[in-house]
Each structure stands twice: as C-alpha cells, then as structure tokens.
Structure 1
C-alpha cells in the first residue's frame, strides 16, 4: 500500500483529500453516533462523479477498505472505517427539479431537508426521511419509509434512475432499460453494488401546506389511546399517515405545564392530500382528546423537520427496526411495559415509536424491487439516545431486551435502515430475493469492495471480520 494515500490520490482529484493530522480531518471523521470513533487513513470528499470513480479505483488498487458516507446518520457505524478510505459524498449537492415531468435529480450527498426545500418550491415532493439531516443515499437504497409512504410508497419505489460508480470504476446509469438488474438491486439492497452518485426521483403533488402535527397524551392514558389509535388508523384511508411515540415532553410553551419533562404518549399525523378534505379523516384521532393538540395546517417542510430536535449529532445511539403484521392488545401492553421505562432512562431524547405502514407500500409488487416484507402493517422502532460511555452497555442491553419482548408480535423480518446488527441481513429478504442479490453481487462487486454495509457477500468472498 502507498505510504501516503492522500498524496497519491490528490493529483487530478478536484475535491478535498484529508489524512490524519491535517486541518479539518478530525471534524471530517466525526459521525452522527458518538459511540463510533474511527480513524480512516484517508478521507476523500469528491467534487463530482469522476472524483468518486478515482477514489474507488485508488482504494481497490491499494487494497483499502471503503466506507461511504451520504448524510452520515448510519447509527450502525457503517459510514466510516479504521485505516481505510472514507468516501464522503457531502460535496455532491446538485439538485435539479423538472416540474413538467415531475422528476428531480439529486446528487448522492443531498440531505432530505435540502431536497424537500427544492421540490416544495414547485408544490411537489417524494417520500423522504423524517429528519431533515438524513442523507438520501442510504435511506433510499435501504428502502426508505417516509411520512407519505402510506400513499406514495417507499423512497426506493420512486427512483426513476440512478448514476452508479461500480467497484471496477465504471460509471453507469441504471434504470428499467439500462442495467435493469442493478436497478432492481439498489432499490432495497443497500450500498452493496456500487456508490450512487445521483438519484432521479418521481415527484408527486403535495403542499406547501398540509394538515399535520403532533398531539400529546398523559402517559397514564397510553393504553387506552394506543388501542383507540390502532382501531382508527386500521380503518383509515391510505392518505392518513400516523405514528405513536413514547417520549419526554419538552419544556416548550406549546406543551401544557403539567406534561413538561414527563413521559407522554405522542401521536403524529398527516393527511397526504388537500387540507380541507383531510379534516374529516383526521378528526377521529382528535376525538381521542389529547392534552395538547398540535395537528393543523402547517408547511410540509415544517412537519418534515418536526423531529429534528430529537436527533442532534454527537450523542450515543442505538436503534432497532422490527416489522409487525398487526398491533394486538398484548403487543400494546408489552410495548408500554418496556417502553415507558426505557424512555425515562434515555431522557430527554430517547423515543419509542410505532409507525402505521400504509397500504401503498404493499401495493408495489414484491418482485419489483429488492426490498422485501411489504406485508407488514406496523413498524416498531425504538430509538435509544444517551450521553455518557458508562451507559453504553446498560442502554444497549435494555433496548435489546425491549426488542426481544416485542419479537413474538413481529413478523421475524428486519428493516435494515434501523438495524445495527449485521446478522439480521438475511432476515430482511426472502430466500429467493437473497439468492438473486448474491448473484447480483457476483456480477457487480465480486471482490466485495463495498462491504461496509449490511453486507451481501458474493459467492466466493471470505466472511468479513
């Protein structure tokens, strides 16, 4: 290996190249989850697709481990590495919206808040991350549940085409006609097959004002309210997007004084359509009599950023993502028995969420994309956040115990965007799809260069240590 990879890569590289000890390196190597503290041998920040290809060629030729960062949330810590090359796509920020065709092209380093801002200028959107600092890349290639997925499917279902840098350095455009099998695989198969440097998304009319917001209930009413919420969202049309969440009520003026700083049951809701039409659809949720009712007309971008205060960088995090076919009374009781305690232990930023998955996700034929397990109706998503290393082991153990207690009510499948453990990869796909993904890996990345992900190993690759 070259003794100074940064020096060797720099000629002809238009972006930024950083190595340990140089100004900006320590800031550039930081990731969202403070439990992850790694030191790449070189950080490459491409300015365009040709830089990405050059970085891939260099890493392959010098046997460097490759990590790819889009937005950088990757709570599992897969968007950085020790000793290898971190390819940071944050410089690929181009966004082009075609309101006539209702499509948008976005560089691989774009964040969802940036894409929402550009598309909402035309009254358009595509299903995206629920935190504005989420990168479009990992979110989309992993599937991508958003608030509007109930009506318009996953982020990956709305990809029209993608520009991809392959492990051999080639740059290809994948769509239904060009590299169709690669196009199938990057929609749900994660970053296993190449680095997506540009997405083209299908857009849908929405906003700029939507009927949405958050309501809060005293935790003492949580059992009653969760049952009522379930019955209402199960009977609701696809346009109603909703979730319930255990959280610590913030000390804000809009929160009743008696709830501030206490565990509460939150209920998020949005009508994906005209605000006037949505009033009757949302009203049954309001009839649950929240202590704080913040559901009303608001900018779509405001609702998209509503969870941002609960997701600051630099804290320690552990997430899970488990599918459920239904939300039984027993599941609700188990969720509350574990979730309230874990929310309090992780105060003030931990939150335990149950999302209602809309039928538009299931309406996409199962074989259309690599993404699997579209029959789930709910997604259980505990988000544990804390500040000190001493709490790492007890918080992770408690989160795993919570997930284990909820597992009897699950489908056995895992949503990888919310899953830290590498051993759950097989749980995310059917047997037939996993075999097809391995064949795709054999074709596009037989050396497993792109292995710092929820890895699908090619047939002849050694296990990753």
Structure 2
C-alpha cells in the first residue's frame, strides 16, 4: 500500500510492529486499524488525510494517544499518527515555543525549562500536547497563567480536504476560536505555537498525604485554604491510596489516603509561605512539599498511571465544596476495589476565570473545581474486577449529581459519555457556535472519531 506524497512509515497488520503501533495509553482499548500512517511532518499528515478521504476510510488522529476513550485508534480505518513528530523549538527571547503535534508534555517541559520558562501543561509527563490543548488544558500553572488554550498563539492545521492553513487571532480566527476547547473536530493540528512564562527551574511543589480517616477535616480545611490562595498556587486533591513511589516510605505504600499536591509558580520563598498552613494542618502521614525542579515535579506521577493499564473515567464540574459535597466525596472516594483507582479534584479560578467566556470554546470558566473519578485495573485482572471498578465510578458520579455545576471538562469524558454530555461540556450557545465552525471546515464530519460536534 502506498500514499502519494507520503514519506513516513506505513504500518499494516502484517508488520511486526503493528500491535505496538496500535496500542494506546488505555490498555482497555483494543482496535485494529487497516493502516497506521506514521507521519514525518505536516506534508505527510496532509497526504494521509487526502488518502483517507479519497478511499472513504474512517480517520483517527493520534498525537500522544492518551485520551481515555481511545479516540487515537479506530477499527478498519486509518490512523493519522503524529507520534514521531515530537520536536520542540524554544524562542527564549520572544518567550514562545513551537511544538509538533505528536509531542508529550514531558518533551515541552524538558526544552522550555532549559530557559526557565514554561506554559500550562498537564499533570502527567506522558500526556500528549495536542489532545490536552485542544480540549482546554488544565494544570498546575493555570491559575497563574491561564489554561493551555489561553497560551496558544497559533496552530498549523491540516483541514478535512487535506489543505494546510494557519489559525491565529489574525488568520482563520473562527477556526482558532474553535480549536481552543473544541477538540479534534476541525482538523489535524500538526504544530502549536505557545506563549511561555518565567517558571522555575526550582519551585516549591509536591504532595502532602493524610490518612483517609482525615478526609472530611482535610477537605473542609482545603476549602478555606484555597479561598485565600494566591494565583501562583496551583493545587490538586487526590483521594485513593498512597502510590508506591521511591520517595514514599514503604510502610505507607497502598495505604488509603488523601493528598493535596501543590505547585507554586513564583519564587520558592513565596511558595514556602503560601503552603505553610497546609503543611501544618493535622497530622500528615508524609510531607513531600519541598523545593524541587518543575520538570521533575511534572513527571512525578508518570509511574502511577502507566501505559497499558485499564482505565475508565467519570467526571463533572463542582460549584463548590459545601459540607454536603465533602460528605459525598468522603463516602465514595475509598470504595473502589483496586488500590490503583483514585479520584482527583482540580482547583480552578484565578487566571482561568478572568478570561471572557466567549474568548475560546472552553466553557468551564466559572467553576470552582472539577473532579475526575478514575477507575484503574490491571490487564490480567478479571472481567468481574473491571465491572466492579466501573460501577464504583458510576455510583460516585451519581452521588455527586446534586452538587454538580452543570458542566464537565471534555477531556475527561469516556467512550460511553454520549452527545448529551458533550453538549454539557460546552453549553448550548458554545455548542451551536462550534457546530457552525464545523460546518465550514468539515461539513462531511470526516473528523468524527472524537468527542464529536456535528456540523451545524
């Protein structure tokens, strides 16, 4: 099989590397594409898209392959695979970075931190830049510097017809608006241009763990703690077990616990002051909050969410942390059967909330927190075990229904979250506007193997 104008590698089922090439982060996803087109550059991406359209093939687009729903791979179609396109070019004077569409956040942090710069990225180093960005992009720096999409200056996009355009505030501004939160519905982004900010290289960052029995008290304290937190302080609450990391004493491994992980984007001494009350609260099991490199902190959770494990997610946005909401979280967070399952709650606000709602397609500007319920089990564990973990996630979400903010982060939606939840992620007004842009740039819905927005 050949593709005109394609210089990358074409992988089919008769190749020795086929199974590795079709594998994605979520090991529960097992799909068999007809062809994997591993692109070497933007021209290859365009050639692969034209080939798919000419041969009426289902299209999946792979950047980092990290989406929990497995949208990066399809059955019987073509995977436009950007995973070999991971270059990052930093302009330290202009404080920008151009990043290819297959790069991971660890690649970006590695290059930008050489200059003491960073932009808002995910909290796991092996998360793909493209997927996280196109859905909005939440992370530890967002309260100080905005979402990833708030730092996107331009994008090189391969359209549904196989053309190449540049989207920015001045070029195709409607497409640029839609790319910033609307997902992979409008084209294949072969490269991104991001604004960078002075961060690190040394920051005050890390988690503090308390016993699960302290969850209610910790969450109530945390509610007050973040209410007065400076924008430079990003934090995530994690409820599950203590991961068996080398920096954690062995006697704490897998113990049920609540953790608050922080990263202060400013000077270390300012960070030490900002987290002092947190570190002094109650009786922590272990306190790992300390000066560390930003890059090391960003990759610190990588081994706790490994490639090939099986994952199932449920998520919602929260209006706040009322006592009733805290009670629901404390009652359900530790009811999973797998020690690898957990939930995580992100503190929003700050710079995220100051961007006008209609400036980008990301719609969750006004929420206080969002929460993800992450069921995790190993590939060799039984079907009954998998069913129990997914049931836990669904029960947890159902119990949170009265406390939801009426929205959800689109990047946290799983494969069984249908059209109603996609609409929930955007709201009716933003969804209709996205549908109009979809109709202009992809009227045939060629890019539908995603959290799909139908052409208006």
The TM-score by the shorter chain falls in which range? over 0.9
Question: Which residue of the partner structure matches residue 52 of structure 1?
Answer: 45
Question: Which residue of the partner structure matches residue 354 of structure 2?
Answer: 363
Distance 1:234 1:210 in 2: 22
Distance 2:302 2:53 in 1: 37
- In structure 2, the CA distance between the partners of 1:197 and 1:252, relative to structure 1 (3 Å rule), is closer
Q: Deviations over 1:257-301 (max 9, x none)?
A: 653331011110111111112221111111214221110100001
Deviation at 1:394, TM superposition (A): 2.2
Is 1:147 paired with 2:140? yes
Is 1:278 paired with 2:274? no
Q: Deviations over 1:399-418 (max 9, x none)?
A: 11111101211112111101
Question: Which residue of the partner structure matches residue 403 of structure 1?
Answer: 397
Question: Which residue of the partner structure matches residue 424 of structure 2?
Answer: 427
Distance 1:43 1:371 in 2: 31
Tell me if the contact between 2:122 and 2:137 (Cα under 8 Å) persists in the aligned partners: yes
CA RMSD after TM alignment: 1.2
SS of the aligned residue for 1:413 comes to coil
Question: Which residue of the partner structure matches residue 315 of structure 1?
Answer: 309
Is 1:14 paired with 2:7? yes
Q: Deviations over 1:198-228 (max 9, x none)?
A: 0000000000000011111111111111111
- In structure 2, the CA distance between the partners of 1:29 and 1:252, relative to structure 1 (3 Å rule), is closer
Question: Which residue of the partner structure matches residue 4 of structure 1?
Answer: none
Runs of 4 or more above 6 Å deviation: none
Deviation at 1:381, TM superposition (A): 1.1
Question: Which residue of the partner structure matches residue 451 of structure 1?
Answer: 448
Deviation at 1:321, TM superposition (A): 2.5
Tell me if the contact between 2:49 and 2:162 (Cα under 8 Å) persists in the aligned partners: yes
SS of the aligned residue for 1:93 comes to coil
Distance 1:332 1:128 in 2: 28
Alignment of 1:221-240 (within 5 A): 221-240=214-233
- In structure 2, the CA distance between the partners of 1:397 and 1:204, relative to structure 1 (3 Å rule), is same
SS of the aligned residue for 1:376 comes to coil
Question: Which residue of the partner structure matches residue 462 of structure 1?
Answer: none
Question: Which residue of the partner structure matches residue 115 of structure 1?
Answer: 108
Deviation at 1:34, TM superposition (A): 1.5
Tell me if the contact between 1:241 and 1:358 (Cα under 8 Å) persists in the aligned partners: no
Tell me if the contact between 1:321 and 1:417 (Cα under 8 Å) persists in the aligned partners: no
Is 1:217 paired with 2:214? no
Distance 2:450 2:260 in 1: 32
Aligned residues: 449
Deviation at 1:256, TM superposition (A): 4.7
Question: Which residue of the partner structure matches residue 411 of structure 2?
Answer: 417
Tell me if the contact between 2:370 and 2:408 (Cα under 8 Å) persists in the aligned partners: no
SS of the aligned residue for 1:200 comes to strand
SS of the aligned residue for 1:373 comes to coil
Question: Which residue of the partner structure matches residue 286 of structure 2?
Answer: 292
Structure 1 regions of 5+ residues with no counterpart?
1-6, 460-465
Distance 2:327 2:142 in 1: 27
TM-score by length of 2: 0.96
Distance 1:136 1:254 in 2: 27
TM-score by length of 1: 0.94
Deviation at 1:234, TM superposition (A): 1.2
Q: Deviations over 1:158-212 (max 9, x none)?
A: 0000000000111000000100000000000000000000000000000000001
Deviation at 1:13, TM superposition (A): 1.5
- In structure 2, the CA distance between the partners of 1:215 and 1:174, relative to structure 1 (3 Å rule), is same
Structure 2 regions of 5+ residues with no counterpart?
none
Is 1:334 paired with 2:328? yes
SS of the aligned residue for 1:97 comes to strand
Tell me if the contact between 2:407 and 2:427 (Cα under 8 Å) persists in the aligned partners: no
